[in-house]
Amino acid sequence: MVSVTRKRVIFSPTMAPRILICLSPRDIIRLRLVSRYFNGITRDKRMWRILYARACLPHPPGPFEWQPLSFHEQVLIHSARTSLTWTLCPILNGLTLIQGPRFTSRGVPKIQPWHFLLGRLLVHCNSNQWQATRDMRISIDTEE
């Protein structure tokens, strides 16, 4: 049940967690800043356990009864931040590299090709492709 007053809309305490589980963990944390009412509603333990169980993000096993509410919140928020900042790019033979954080700035110059070693694998990166070479005789030449 929703009651509407002149200045605000008040959700019943049983209805709000059902609506809030459709939001992302970051949005729920942002909602706490709106008012004291939402601050109290977003601290519902059942809601965070449902969010934790449904999360598509990597997280430790759970939820368990012995895990505190703050643990569920912190893990989900940390996982969401990590997934926004870092991406996984598959390259050769199922090998997965973590591509660096996505920083955006004004006037980014064209990315030059670069090389790096990953164990015995030499990886050559262009702006639009990745190539990996498994060669025991790797020599790195510096271009000037």
Domain residue ranges in the chain: 2-85, 87-134
Q: Which one is the CATH code of 2-85: 1.20.1280.50, 3.40.50.11750, 3.30.390.30, 3.30.420.10?
A: 1.20.1280.50
Confidence of residue 64 (pLDDT cuts 50, 70, 90): low
pLDDT at 142: 46
User: How crowded is residue 64: how many other Cβ atoms within 10 Å of its Cβ?
Assistant: 11
- The segment with the largest mean pLDDT, out of 11-20, 25-34, 135-144, is 25-34
Instruction: Quote the percentage of the chain above a pLDDT of 90.
Output: 0
Confidence at 16, pLDDT banded by 50, 70, 90:
confident
- CA dist list (Å): 62 to 24, 27, 43, 44: 18, 22, 18, 17
pTM of the model: 0.39
User: How does residue 90 score in pLDDT terms, banded at 50, 70 and 90?
Assistant: very low
Query: Nearest 5°: CA angle at 23, between 22 and 24?
Result: 125
Higher pLDDT, 7 or 94: 7
